[in-house]
Amino acid sequence: MKSTALKIMVLLAALLVLVLACRELPGMERRLEGGPPPPAGGLVTPAGASPPAVGAAAPRPSASSGPVAAATPAAGTAGQPQPIRSVTALRMIGPAAGWVGGEGWIARTGNGGSEWTLQYTGSGTVSAIYALDGERAWAVINGFVSAEKILRTTDGGARWEEAGAAPNGGYLHFTTPDTGFSGNAMTTDGGATWSGLPAPEHLVGDVYYADRKHGWAVTAHTADGAAAPDAFAIVRTTDGGLTWKNVMQRKTLTLTGAVIRSAGANDAWIECIGESGMNQTAYSLFHTEDGGATWRTVLDHSTAGAGAAPGFKNGEDRGIPSGPGAGPGMLFALNEKAAYMTGYCAPCDNAVSVGWTTDGGAGWSESAQTLPGYLPSQLTMRDMRHGWLATGSTDTPATLYSTDDGGKQWKRIFTFLSVDSAGGTIQGQSARPGGAQAEGLNRLDWQPAEVPAVKPWAGMPAGAAVVSQQTLDQLGEVAVTFFTLAGDENYVYADLKTPQGHFDLGAAGTYNYRKADDLHADAALLFSGWKLKITGSLGANATLSNYYSIGGTGQPAGVLRVDTGHAAERDVDRDGVNEAVSVYGLPMTAYVYRWQGGRPERADVNAALQADSVMLRDDMVFEATAGGSSEPQEFWLLPEGLIPAILPAD
C-alpha cells in the first residue's frame, strides 16, 4: 500500500511540474508584428487583447549563434510540399521589395510579389519581421513547445542566423542595428541579450518604448493610482521608466486589451480594446503628437453587441468615425500623420476591410472594397501610397494584395499555394505576366457573354395582366412588375420603374412558369457593386437570370444574361469581387462569369478540366469527375485558371 501511494504521489508531482512548465513556456501567448523601416517608424499590431508585459525581467541567456538549420518536415509529410493557409508576418522595404513569413518559412521578393525566393525554413511560426533597410532585418520565431527565438540577417536574407532568445511577448522594433526594444526589454547587441526596463503597475497590454528614455503604457487604475476595472489611464515616461506620468484618464467598461505604436518620442497611437459580443468587439483609437498634452479620438467603435468603446458611454453620438469591420484587426502607424487599420467581420462574406487617416486622425477614410479571409490578416505600408495586405483561411490558399493609391483599391498580386522545404521553393500563382506559375494550372477559355437589352417605354401595354410586383429599396426607388400579354402564351415579361421612368426588360421567363413564386426581383452583389437581378424559369430545371445596373439617377443598363442554369453570386477566385456561377443538368455542367475589359465573359469549367461533371461546393471548391472515374478531383479557381485544391506530392 505504501509503495502504491508513493508511486501515485510521484506521478502527481510530475504532472504538476509538467502543467506549470507548460504555463510558463514563453511564446505560447505571443502575438506581435513588426513595423516598417525608419524613419517612417511604421508599426503593426494584432487584434484582440494584448498579452501581459514582462515586468523588468532579467535578460535571458543568448542562444548559440550560427546558421539556422533547415526545417524538419512533420511526421508523415517528409518531402511533401506543405499547403500555405496564412501569412503570419509581412514587411515591405520598398515599393517592389519585402519579406513574408509563415509556418516555418521566410521568403523575399524583389519584383513586387510576382515571384518569391525561399530564404529560411525551420520549426515554429514566424510571428514578426522587422527591417531597418533592405539588408538588415530580424524575425521572431514562435515555437509551440520551445522558447521563442530571434533570427537576424545582415545581407538581405541570404543568410538568417539565430541572434538570441525573445525576451517577452512585446512588439519587436529596432532603432539602430544594435539597439532594439520588445515590450519592457532592451537590447544593445542586435538581439543577442536583453535587459529589463521598468513597467508601471496595473498594466494592460504591453509597454512600448520608443527609445531608451521615452515610453508609453495603458494601465487599469483611477487618477489616484488605485486599481480599478472600470477605469484606465494612459501613462508616459521620459526617464526610462523611473517615473510614469498620467497623460489621459477615462472611465470605461472592462478593458480587455491595449495596443501602442509610436512614430517618435512624442507620438503615440493607442488602441484600447473593450468587450465582445454578437460577433462584435468595441474599440477606441487615440492619437497624440505632443507627448500626451493633447489627444485626438480617431475612432469610437461602439456596438450594440459589445457595448461602448473604451473611454465612452453607451448611447453617446460623438460624431467620431467607427472604424473598419465589426472588430479590430491590424493597426499600422506609418508616421505622425498616417495610420492604417484593418477590420474583421466574422459573419460577412468578405471579412477583411481597411481604413486609414493621413492627417493625424482629424479625418478617417475607408476602402469600399472588402476582401476574403478568416485568419488574422497582415498589413504593411511602405509609404502613404504603397502597401501590402495578406489574408487567408483554413481551407483556402493565403493571398497577397497590393495598393498603390493609399488603400482605396487592393489588387491581388500572388496566391501562396505551398512551401517545399526539401526543394527550397515557394509554389504559387502570380497575377502579373511573367510571374510564377502554379503547377497543374488549367486555363479557362473566356468568351463574350450575353447582355440583356433595356428599352425605355411608356409602361406596360394595354391588355397586360400583372402577375406580381416587387419594390427594391436597396437600389433606390426601383419597382419591377411581372406581367403577361393577351394572346401570348410563350413568355412572362418584366417592366422596370425608376426615377427615370419605365423600361422594358423583355422576357423574364416562359409562360408555363408564370406564377408569382416562379419570378423574383432581388438586389445582388455582382462584379463591382449591387445589381438588379431578375430571375425566371425556362423549364423544369432551367433558370434565366438577367442582371442590370441602376445608375445614381436611376438609369438602368444591362450587365449580364445567364441562361446556363441557376445563377449565384460568389467570389470563386478569391479576389474580393463576386463572379456569377451557374450549374445545371445531370451530369452537371458549370460556368463562371466575370467582368473583364468593360464587358461580361463566360467560361466553361467542364471544358477547362476535361470533366464530364463539375459541381461547386459551399467552400468554393470545384469537384470534377471524368468519365470512368468515381473519385472526384478538387480544384480552386484563380483569375488565371483552375489549380488542384490539394497539391500532389513531388
Tens of pLDDT, residue by residue over 52-65, are 333 223 333 333 33
DSSP class of 358? S
Tens of pLDDT, residue by residue over 184-231, are 999 999 999 999 999 999 999 999 999 999 999 999 987 777 777 788
The torsion angles phi and psi of 76, rounded to 5 degrees, stand at: 85, 0
pLDDT confidence of residue 41: 32
The Cα 31–Cα 54 span in angstroms is 14
- Enumerate the H helices of 213-340 as residue ranges: none
DSSP lists the bridge partners of residue 599 as 596
DSSP lists the bridge partners of residue 366 as 355
Tens of pLDDT, residue by residue over 160-188, are 999 999 999 899 999 999 999 999 999 99
The domain segmentation of the chain, as residue ranges, is 447-644
The Cα 250–Cα 247 span in angstroms is 10
Closest CA to 435 of 639, 281, 608, 249: 639
Q: What is the mean pLDDT of the chain?
A: 86
Residue 407 in grid coordinates: 488603400
Residue 70 in grid coordinates: 533547415
Question: Buried (b) or exposed (e) across 217-233, using 16+ Cβ within 10 A?
Answer: bbbbbbeeeeebeebbb
Q: What mean pLDDT is predicted for residues 234-257?
A: 94
Tens of pLDDT, residue by residue over 439-465, are 889 999 999 999 999 999 999 999 899
The Cα 578–Cα 637 span in angstroms is 13
Tens of pLDDT, residue by residue over 533-559, are 999 999 887 899 999 999 989 999 999
Q: Is the pLDDT of residue 567 over 90?
A: yes
The Cα 97–Cα 646 span in angstroms is 29
The Cα 404–Cα 163 span in angstroms is 35
Q: How many Cβ atoms are within 10 Å of 469's Cβ, its own excluded? A: 14
pLDDT confidence of residue 79: 61
Residue 443 in grid coordinates: 486555363
Q: What mean pLDDT is predicted for residues 630-640?
A: 90
Q: How many CA atoms lie within 13 A of 466 on its CB side?
A: 9
Q: Is the pLDDT of residue 570 over 60?
A: yes
pLDDT confidence of residue 7: 40
The Cα 34–Cα 498 span in angstroms is 52
pLDDT confidence of residue 223: 73
The CA-atom distances, in angstroms, between 242 and each of 198, 200, 619 are 7, 9, 55
Q: Is the pLDDT of residue 40 over 80?
A: no
Q: What mean pLDDT is predicted for residues 268-275?
A: 97
Closest CA to 414 of 108, 131, 94: 108
Under 8 Å between Cβ of 341 and 332:
yes
Sign for the pseudo-dihedral over CA of 610, 612, 615, 619: negative
Higher pLDDT, 650 or 628: 628
Tens of pLDDT, residue by residue over 280-299, are 999 999 999 999 999 999 99
Closest CA to 399 of 636, 182, 174: 636
The Cα 643–Cα 467 span in angstroms is 45
Torsion of CA 259, 265, 267, 269, to 10 degrees: -10
Q: What mean pLDDT is predicted for residues 80-94?
A: 92
The Cα 576–Cα 598 span in angstroms is 18
The alpha carbon of 593 is separated from its chain's Cα centroid by a whole number of angstroms, namely 25
The Cα 358–Cα 340 span in angstroms is 9
The Cα 315–Cα 425 span in angstroms is 54
Q: What mean pLDDT is predicted for residues 407-416?
A: 95
